[in-house]
Structure 1
Amino acid sequence: MPDVDICILGAGPGGATAALHLANAGRPCLLLDRARFPRDKVCGDALSGKVLAELRRIRPELPAELETSPAQLPSWGIEFYAPNGRRLSVPFKPRFNKATDAAAGHIIKRLHFDNFLVEEVRCRPEIDFQEGVDVANHEQLPDGRWRLTAADGTEIATARLLLVANGAQSSFARQVGGHALEPAHHCAGLRAYYRGVQGLSPDNFIELHFIKDFLPGYLWVFPLPNGEANVGVGMLTEAVSQKKVNLRQRLDDMLQAHPALKVRFAGAERLGPVRGFGLPLGSKRRALSGRGYLLLGDAGSLIDPFTGEGIGHAIISGRHAADWAGRALVAQDFSPAFLRGYDGAVYNRLWQELRLSRVMQRLLSYPWLFNFVASRAANNPTLAETISNMFLDLDLRERLRQPSFYLKLLLGR
């Protein structure tokens, strides 16, 4: 049974990123995942500009290697469909040139993207990566170390510091981190893959449909390679319960009957089952650390409340987790007070964007207001750019701090 300084639970984007940054710093770690890769993960499959920027921090060549993969499509913008049916088409870069410009975003199945990161992990001798290891229990010993055991009681490892990146259903996050499911800060979602959807953008714009009688939920259509598309719906868990919404039935109904969708899906073939997932949203500030542990990505409830983006935020938290794990080892301080520096670093990077997304999320409860914003955005380049950047931008923080930004919003420039 290994006894290590740092153990990471979960080899998804957050955990893999943390391991890779630790490796870059010359720090060994143990990385455990109950699955064997490649493995699927229910998701919207879109990668934001945040993701590309963070990949570059791991290794400068990584974004270019991703871009050459046949498993991905470059995406050049977003099409919003307002409740009144108006379409707002927003490119990520005005007057883009696909022949010379690098795409701001990509769409790739999690089956392929997560394995892309795991293959990078496999190349690093500092990372002891163990697949097919299901950690069922975690016990903190009197000296603060964590003892991890399997369901049959077999000891798996002991660790001085745990980086918990095992997803939205993390028992550790609930039992130890105190991240209870709160319906007002949690989204229920469904996803299916289709082939033969008509009318997809030739520039691979992702589609977001805010359908009046489905608000405050939304429907998405994301193009994929080989003529496939990721199609799904998401709605606040609180609203699903209050309105008694059957998401699976509503998804079918909208694809078969909604005027903007029924013709496009008439000849489409669904590939495999409709799969559900839950998203703990970052619309509420929660503790991300405690004695001897850090929570990353979905396990830290860091999903964007409006866009549903989790991958970029997971990777950002992974970088900061590696940084603070290294600091804790140098200081030999694994106390809650010391590790709260990780919380501060993550929220300093993400909180302003999460707050803005929370405001946008609330618009979905007021169709007339959402229609108004969409109409204004059609004639307001700053507003249109801001909405698109919430999905696939590098960093909105500096823009949100500038008074001139808000002036441009008001003046429509």
Structure 2
Amino acid sequence: MQEVDICIVGAGPGGATTALHLAQKGIPSVLVDKAVFPRDKICGDALSGKVVNELKRISPELPDLLRQEQSQLPSWGIHFISPGGHQLSVPFKLNYNIAAHTPAGHIIKRIDFDNFLINEVKKRPEITLLEGIDINSIQEQEGRHVLTDKSGKVNLSTKLLISANGAHSSFARHTAGIQQEPAHYCAGLRAYYKGVAGLDKDNFIELHFLKDFLPGYFWIFPLPNGCANVGVGMLSNEVSRRKINLKKEMLRMIETHPALKERFASAELIGDIKGYGLPLGSKKRVISGKGYMLVGDAASLIDPFTGEGISNAMISGRWAAEQAAQCLAQNNFSASFMQGYDKAVYNRLWKELKLSRRMQKLLHYPWLFDQVAAKASKNATLAETISCMFNDLDLRERLRQPSFYLKLLFN
């Protein structure tokens, strides 16, 4: 039995970020993952400006190192395409005061981005990385958490457990009580295509809100070498209520929808279409307890409107490291003391998540989305105003006010 102070289960962006921030503080940790890196992770593969900011917080040179990766594409923004086919473009570069020539976002396959972070982990002597270790038992014993792998050869006893092992974390479900609620959970599919026509020259990612698919959406994210990440997402309760076969619906849209069929006419599917679940941050949850914290998807922190999860996982990882440092300094691992982590995470994310939830609900009114996008597509000033709203939380608050739409529609 190996005794440690901090054990992090799951070495994706949330877990790796936690370990790296701890290392910056000179605090050792053990980081465990059932996979051996590089490994694939089903995802949309888009990194927003928030991810770049979090990389910079880990180490100022990381954004530049990412830009040098040949596996990434710089991305300058998002195209939102309304049910009526109107396009609203939101540049990423408005998000953060960065140089005009520096992209705020990137698109990179998760197999490459996660490995990029793991390579940083491997440089840090404070981090013990254990790959290919499938933890299948976590028990609380005498105020500590004891972790055992399937083979029974790995036994770790830790003062503080940080669960960062994703949407299907058994610890989050069985110990922390995080339930999979269909109204706050999204079903998604991801595929890779080569030869999709009409990709944006500045690598804007595309979110298509197709009329037959609301309140879900269809995405196209360009990748290097003429490839694209293509997928769909829809709330699980809507999938069940409407008895939708997501894979069949996705292929049907690609083959028949006027906005898509010509673009995919010569495209080639690479590999299989894979499914995954997205636990949405559309409600507050208790994400810590006696001797543990939940990070990233295990804490259900995915943006309800855009489906972005990587940045929020990294943000929660940063705050988990802060809380862990305080726990060690005060030798206090009680559930009440751990609540400082919940408060820090939701102080940073809840306003944004709540507004995204309200914007998600707007998808139940496709005519309104169409009217806003149609006006914005013909009015540069309005388009810039709405772009700023997506990037500024205080301005975005107006998007939930009926008066904003009344003025917009009748002026």
TM-score by length of 2: 0.93
Which amino acid counterpart does residue 20 of structure 1 have in structure 2?
A: L
Q: Report deviation, 1:243.
A: 0.4
Find the counterpart in structure 1 of residue 165 from structure 2. 166
| Cα distance in structure 2, aligned partners of 1:340 and 1:397 | 25
- Aligned-pair CA distance for 1:370: 1.8
User: Are the aligned partners of 1:5 and 1:161 in contact in 2 as well (CA < 8 Å)?
Assistant: yes
Q: What is the match of residue 145 of structure 1?
A: 144
Partners of 2:39 and 2:343 lie apart in 1 by 32
Alpha carbons 2:73, 2:203 under 8 Å: kept = yes
Q: How far apart are residue 79 of structure 1 and its match?
A: 1.4
State the one-letter code of the partner of 1:170.
S
Identity of aligned residues (%): 59
Contact 1:377 1:383 in 2 (8 A): no
Residues 200 and 387 of structure 1, relative CA distance in 2, 3 Å threshold = farther
Measure, in 2, the Cα distance between the counterparts of 1:72 and 1:387.
Answer: 27
Preserved contact between residue 304 and residue 357 of structure 1 (Cα < 8 Å)? yes
Name the residue aligned to 1:204: 203
Number of the residue aligned with 2:135: 135
Amino acid across the alignment from 1:14: G
Note if 1:311 corresponds to 2:313.
no
CA deviation string 1:114-152 (max 9, x = no partner): 0000000000000001100100010000x2100001234
What SS class does the counterpart of residue 32 from structure 2 fall into? strand
State the Cα distance separating 1:200 from its structure 2 match: 0.5
User: Can you list the C-alpha shifts for 1:167-194, whole angstroms capped at 9, x where unaligned?
Assistant: 0110011001111110000000000000
1:385 aligns with 2:384: no
Aligned to 1:259: 258
Unaligned runs of 5+ in 2: none
Aligned residue type for 1:80: F
Show the counterpart of 1:392: none
1:43 equivalent in alignment to 2:43: yes
Q: How many residues align?
A: 402
Q: Is the 8 A contact 1:382 1:409 kept in 2?
A: no
Instruction: Extract unaligned runs of 5+ from structure 1.
Output: 390-395
Aligned 8 A contact 2:390 2:396 in 1: no
1:27 maps to 2:27: yes
The answer for the alignment partner of 2:126 in structure 1 is 126
Cα distance per residue 1:309-330 (max 9 Å; x no partner):
0000000000000000010111
In the TM superposition, what is the alpha-carbon distance from 1:384 to its structure 2 partner? Answer: 2.2
Partner SS for 2:161: strand
Conserved 8 A contact 1:349-1:397: no
TM-superposition CA deviations, 1:14-66 (whole Å, max 9, x none): 00000000000000000000000000000000001111011001100000110
Residue 106 of structure 2 corresponds to 106
> Hey, what's the Cα distance between the residues in 1 that align with 2:394 and 2:364?
29
1:169-225 alpha-carbon deviations (Å, 9 max, x no partner): 100110011111100000000000000000101111111110001111100000000
The offset of 1:155, in angstroms, is: 4.4
1:287 is displaced (CA, Å) by 0.5
CA distance in 2, matches of 1:208, 1:103: 19
Residues 329 and 410 of structure 1, relative CA distance in 2, 3 Å threshold? farther
Q: Distance in 2 between matches of 1:202 and 1:335?
A: 52
State the 4+ residue runs in structure 1 displaced beyond 6 angstroms: 405-413
Q: What residue number does 1:275 align with?
A: 274
Q: TM-score, normalised by structure 1?
A: 0.93
